[in-house]
Amino acid sequence: MTQPQPPRPGEVLLDLDPATVEGPTLAFIERIGSRWSKGNSPKNLREARAAGGRFTVQIDPPYHAGLLGLSVGDAIVVLYWMDAARRDLIVQSPAHRDGPTGTFALRSPARPNPIALAVTRLLAIQADSGTLTIDAIDAFDGTPVLDIKPWLASVDIPPGFRA
């Protein structure tokens, strides 16, 4: 693993890097397929959709049965582990903000537990190979997948919320 860049002005490091702490384990159910890599990736899902391309979530064989009930056209939540992200920043100074901002108020990949989510649309399902084709993803190629959940408007939109 490469050494993280020094903090920018206003950024605050945690006293302990969570990447070095023993704790619960996670099972990666497989990997994301994208054309993105370090230095060649969109900043967010909106930019990924605008750029276009072929994006997949490849599921390992033991988890194929978990795809039962998903249909082309469904919106799904893909939870993934940003394994290349730094984990020791708790206050960040992103270029798009006027000043330092707490990690939990940002969508930045730098966070104590680098879990990301993307709400995507299923374009194709190959259940026999465990391949899901999705409309977009902003993750690097090979990023580990933690989970997939259905996105449900009746559950996932807070009551009275207006965009």
Is residue 92 very low, low, confident or very high in pLDDT (cuts 50, 70, 90)?
very high
CA-CA distance, 155 to 134, in Å (whole number)? Answer: 21
Q: Out of 2.40.30.70, 3.90.1150.50, 3.20.20.70, 2.30.140.10, which CATH number does the structure's domain 26-152 have?
A: 2.40.30.70
Is residue 155 very low, low, confident or very high in pLDDT (cuts 50, 70, 90)?
very high
Burial 98-123 (b: 16+ CB within 10 A, else e): eeebebeebebbbbbebebebebebe
Find, among 76, 110, 80, 75, the residue nearest to 92 by Cα.
110
Instruction: Return the structure tokens found at 118.
Output: 């993307």
Domain layout of the chain by residue ranges: 26-152
* 161 vs 122, more confident: 122
Indicate the burial class of 5 (C-beta count within 10 angstroms; 0-12, 13-18, 19 or more): exposed
For the segment 114-135, the average pLDDT, to the nearest whole number, is 97
The tens digit of pLDDT for each residue in 1-45 reads 566 788 889 988 888 887 788 888 889 999 999 999 999 999 999
